[in-house]
A and B are shown apart, each in its own frame.
Chain A
Amino acid sequence: MPRLPGLIKGLGVTARTAGRTLFPKRGWKTLIPAPQKGAVTVQYPHEKEAPPDRARGVIALHEENCTACMLCSRQCPDWCIYIEGHKVKAPPRREGGKPRTVNMLDRFDIDYALCMYCGICVEVCPFDALFWTPEYEYSEPRIADLLHDKDRLGEWMETVPDFLDYETGSEQKVRKVPR
């Protein structure tokens, strides 16, 4: 049956936490209650938590780099990337050359209702056309509206943060985001 110490200790923990939440400030300011500062929760619509730079929020498309090679679409485990494209003739790179055949991207849709945010498409892209951005506010009331086309994906390109430096001891090279 209840002995005192354990029960009292428990009361102490909750009281301490309440105190820390209500009076988070130090020194004489301790007396001013500031729960907004002491609470760990973020009051979402008023203030927004910044996700880490690597956060996989949404996939942005840098359209100029995309060659419609279909790699991402084929590697996608959920079959949620739809690409259509056609070939066009482009002028040669240098004078006297032959005209080149390049791929033009007509459609690049990602169905975020299906997407599992695994990042395989970003990883397999050989031309640096797909990037993760921590942007997360793109919910839709209807599930069908979650199919985003290449214009929308392109808009997110602005929110792509630069790649982070690595911790010492790493041999990875820091990549650059095309702007």
Chain B
Amino acid sequence: MTATSDREQMAYVSAQAADARVKVELDTGDMTLNIGPQHPATHGTLRIACQLDGEQVVVAEPIMGYMHRGYEKLCEVRTYPQCTTLINRIDWLGSFANEVPFILAAERLMEIEAPPRAQWIRTILFELSRIANLALFLGDMGVQIGALTPVFFAFRDRERVLNQIEEVTGGRFHPNFDRIGGLKDDIPKGWIEETRSVMVKMRTFCDEMEDLLVGNEIFQARCRGVGVIPPEVALGYGLSGANLRASGVDWDLRRDANPGLAWDQVDWRVWTHPDGDSFARYWVRLQETREATHIVDQLLDGIPSGPIMAKVPRIIKVPAGEAYISTENPLGEMGYYIVSKGDLGPFRVKIRTPSFNNISIVPWVMKGVYVPDVITILGSLYFILGDIDR
């Protein structure tokens, strides 16, 4: 105000005053719009309380807990083998991947290691659940922005992957197949060939998604430049997985902090995208799905023979100590911090889920976007409600 001699300053002040006057004269109160908890875009029961000015979001605050199941508490009263039953249900679309870090953390404390064959099959199943999970995202993102068909393609082709998982583990969604020291069972005859043909189909699915969505100009118009997350913000919020890589951070726990699975045995690359917008997130996930099919193909070629269980006592007692193991799950970094007191069950389990961190950026990224963009951003951040609420 003091620098009235400055013409620019004058212009600025008068513009501010005009704005304020308009706001007083046309007292347009903000509208609160609750997106969710029952809303098709929140796949699950997430609620986003949006303050709208017209169709523009002023403040968006996610409210969750509608599905909080208290797994951290429940794990405390269960034995280690019993915990995996629960852990399956955290990210229910890629459930095998949930078991692995928990089992690895327990193995780390017990200082045993699963035999190589078990590690390879673990890695294959891990990547299969990644494909199953991301395939649904690839289709679902289409639905979020209005394309009806992709999600049906996704369900169609994901089913093939789930069948492969079921043929080995017996469970489509909740395999509960990983055991401390190895796996519950070996793979059945003929499975490798079937999986190979499924991987070919999944690559076709990726091509279809590329034609239906990535190349589609309407899709690009909706996603490019929407919900841009710069890398330093992404790091501060602890974003992980494709959300981080779409912001240009070349970071993949499979490559950079491999906890002993067979990823270092095969040739693959980490995809990143410099833009950090919704389109980049979709694109990175699409490439990752395709890359995962190549990883599975290579792994299938080289499964070593041998046992699938290390020597473990029948009654599992994990020595006292603490361990934190995280792996690159379909949604991002999932880690288990296990505090053991040498008991049958863990003393405390802190479950670090990717979606919780990924969604915590919502208030930051949704300032000033339009209502349709809220859906685009939510879709592209890709969360599973069980993964947020635990």
> A residues within 8 Å of B by Cβ?
1-3, 5-7, 9-10, 12-14, 17, 40, 51-56, 75, 77, 116-120, 123, 132, 164-172
Number of A-B residue pairs at CB separation under 8 A: 115
Q: Within 8 Å CB of A123, what residues of B? A: 184
Q: Are A118 and B166 in contact (CB under 8 A)?
A: no
Choose from A13, A17, A75 the contact partner of B82 (Cβ within 8 Å).
A75
Further contacts, 16 of them, CB under 8 A, given A77-B85, A166-B187, A167-B191 = A1-B221, A2-B221, A9-B212, A40-B156, A54-B166, A54-B169, A56-B171, A117-B171, A117-B174, A119-B176, A120-B85, A168-B189, A168-B305, A169-B303, A171-B186, A171-B305
Known contacts: A9-B211, A116-B174. The answer to whether A164 contacts B149 by CB under 8 A is no
Q: How far is the CB of A117 from chain B (nearest CB, A)?
A: 7
List the 9 shortest-distance A-B pairs measured between CB atoms, nearest first. A169-B305, A77-B82, A118-B85, A164-B188, A6-B215, A170-B186, A54-B170, A52-B167, A56-B170
B82: nearest chain-A partner, CB-CB = A77
Q: Are A54 and B217 in contact (CB under 8 A)?
A: no
Known contacts: A2-B218, A167-B191. The answer to whether A118 contacts B176 by CB under 8 A is yes
Known contacts: A164-B188, A170-B187. The answer to whether A54 contacts B168 by CB under 8 A is yes
In the complex, whether B262 has a CB less than 8 A from a CB of chain A is no
Q: Are B216 and A6 in contact (CB under 8 A)?
A: yes
In the complex, whether B342 has a CB less than 8 A from a CB of chain A is no
Q: Within 8 Å CB of B360, what residues of A? A: none
B164: nearest chain-A partner, CB-CB = A52
> B residues within 8 Å of A by Cβ?
78-79, 81-82, 84-86, 88, 117, 149, 153, 156, 159, 163, 166-171, 174, 176, 184-192, 208, 211-213, 215-221, 303-308
Choose from B163, B171, B188, B221 the contact partner of A166 (Cβ within 8 Å).
B188
Q: How far is the CB of A44 from chain B (nearest CB, A)?
A: 14
B165: nearest chain-A partner, CB-CB = A52
A-B contact pairs, 18 of them (CB 8 A): A3-B217, A6-B217, A6-B219, A6-B220, A10-B213, A52-B163, A52-B167, A54-B168, A56-B170, A75-B82, A77-B78, A118-B176, A119-B176, A119-B184, A123-B184, A167-B191, A169-B306, A171-B306
Complex CA–CA separation, A132 to B170 (angstroms):
9
Counting chain B CB atoms within 10 Å of each CB, the highest count among A77, A117, A120 belongs to A77
Q: Are B159 and A172 in contact (CB under 8 A)?
A: no
Complex CA–CA separation, A75 to B314 (angstroms):
12
Q: Are A12 and B211 in contact (CB under 8 A)?
A: yes
Known contacts: A119-B170, A120-B85, A167-B189. The answer to whether A10 contacts B211 by CB under 8 A is yes
Q: Within 8 Å CB of A55, what residues of B? A: 166, 170-171
A76: nearest chain-B partner, CB-CB = B82
Q: Within 8 Å CB of B85, what residues of A? A: 77, 116, 118, 120
Complex CA–CA separation, A53 to B169 (angstroms):
10
B209: nearest chain-A partner, CB-CB = A13
